[in-house]
Amino acid sequence: MNHIVLYEPEIPQNAGNIIRTAIANQMTVHFIRPLGFHLKGKDVIRSAVNYLDQLDYYIHDTFDDFLKTVDGEMFFITRYGDKRPDQIAVGDDGKHYYFIFGSESSGIPKQILSQHLERCIRIPMHPTMRSLNLSNSVAIVAYEVMRQQNFKNLSDVEPDNQKGKDYLKQP
């Protein structure tokens, strides 16, 4: 099982987009307080396109509270990491993997990262860039994880099931 962990997220639209990505990939989301929004606020719900009721999620008061629930491998997504997402092995879909992302303004605190140096992952980008958007970063990592797990339970072979498999063949 795969888990997205948001450490003190601030922007409701990012949270909504991450919720959609998590549901699309059958991932659980952990929110670590404080949150910069109300989870059931209109901006989150709008960005999540009303999928919030399908989300498997937990809210933790502190990072230490979250750590008490971890029963698998943790990876910290940060610009200070020395591995790319494709350089970690997360292909065992029977294991629990936790991908921790920091707040939009300050990331994951140094005191947390320094305790997990071998688990710090970076997304490659141009060296003059400070960071990517949080929801984009989550999507990049989520789909790398699912790629390594052979897109298990996702509709990567079947075309869109909303309009039918022959939609593009119709005039």
For range 17-33, the mean pLDDT = 96
For range 137-157, the mean pLDDT = 89
Among 71-75, 146-150, 166-170, the minimum mean pLDDT is found in 166-170
β-bridge mates for residue 76, sequence order: 100, 120
| DSSP assignment letter at 54 | G
Statement: residue 156 has pLDDT above 70: no
Instruction: Check if the beta carbon of residue 3 is closer than 8 Å to that of residue 25.
Output: no
For range 87-112, the mean pLDDT = 96
The CATH architecture annotation of domain 2-169 reads 3-Layer(aba) Sandwich (3.40)
| Greater pLDDT, 154 or 83 | 83
Report which of 44, 52, 145 is spatially closest to residue 90, judged by C-alpha positions. Answer: 145
Domain ranges of the chain: 2-169
Could you list the beta-strand ranges (E) of the chain.
2-7, 28-32, 57-60, 73-77, 97-101, 120-121
